[in-house]
Amino acid sequence: MADVEGFCDERFTAVREALTANLAGGADVGASVAVYLGDEPVVDLWGGQTHDGPWRRDTITNVWSITKTMTALCALILADRGELDFHAPVARYWPEFAAAGKERVEVRHLMGHTAGLPTWGERIDGSVLYDWEKATSLLAAQEPEWEPGTESGYHAVTQGYLVGEVIRRITGRTVGTFFREEVAGPLDADFHIGLPAEHDHRVARVIPPDDAPPPAPPRQAAEASWTTEWRRAEIPAAGGHGNARSVARIQSVLATGGGSLLSAAGCERVFEQQSDGVDRVLGTWVRFGLGYGLPSRGLPLPSPRSVAWGGWGGSVVVADLDAGMTVSYVMNRMVGGFTGDARGVGIVLAAYTGLAES
């Protein structure tokens, strides 16, 4: 049996059993799981190994596209304060963005992956990810690949720079700074967009997946997250570092009516549908709201009033606004696709088993 540490409310023993089975059977190498009911943790578990020792309570790792939910939450907060209008042209906040026929692209198109800018149009190398001005300037000058707002095409990395630049233009702060000061700090949550050096020793390197067919990146892209340049950079769609506890703590804000960060109405805005169909990039059916995936045939969530997203390789977070429950799973062993796998699904279903017994 694998050693799993932490605590687990007796109603949620199925979650502990699911994590234990993943670790014991080799599906996971190291992982953490958290469940919040309201703003109270009922599950906080971790176990397994990292590249340099046991997975510990304070171990963090790169969670890839879970970071998008953090950036989206920042935008939702600004909209709730009246500083950001999702239906306004992006160029209202970022004038240079109007180039190449984008003057009518709205902020909601960025949030819902319908802006037509899923990649940088010119061939670039990875160094652009560490140069905010270059990354955003290239996107501002670029022509959309399709009519914005008509369909989604997953903006796997570009979304963070697009939404992040809008946040920077409004607040005068980078998205990583805004997130730290307005979200992670107030919630005492151990999640970082741009990781300070003092936390390097706690990072579990991801274990790259075997190469998968496109659109999944090659394994070398996963190895980039091992570098100092990646950890220091603010990559707001893919570079966040945290664990299940911090992910669930932050996203529980949605499931609890906003807490001190959002109004109840501000939370409800996640359900404003932006697309519903086969995504041009992912090739699967996706229904996007404002920054989150909504229940659909491609994302069959247990509750119709829940939102979710996952990170490349398998991490996942689900916030159920009816049940007031948030579930998160974060691991270091990646599998190939963008769209998750049975490990995270098993954790989420186990949490709903516990919820039914509450």
What residues act catalytically?
65
- In three-state secondary structure terms, 242 is strand
Going by their DSSP bridges, the two strands 30-37 and 4-8 should be labelled as unpaired
**Rounded to 10 degrees, what is the CA torsion of 292, 294, 296, 301?**
100
Residue 211 burial class via C-beta count within 10 angstroms: exposed 0-12, middle 13-18, buried 19 and up: exposed
Chain centroid to CA 286 = 15
Cα–Cα distances in Å, from 136 out to 90, 96, 179, 260? 13, 10, 19, 31
Q: Which ranges constitute the DSSP H helices of the chain?
A: 13-24, 66-80, 90-93, 107-111, 132-141, 158-171, 175-179, 185-187, 219-223, 228-232, 244-255, 264-268, 342-356
Distance CA 235, CA 115 (A): 19
Sign of CA dihedral 130, 133, 138, 139: positive
Q: Which one-letter amino acid corresponds to residue 74? A: C
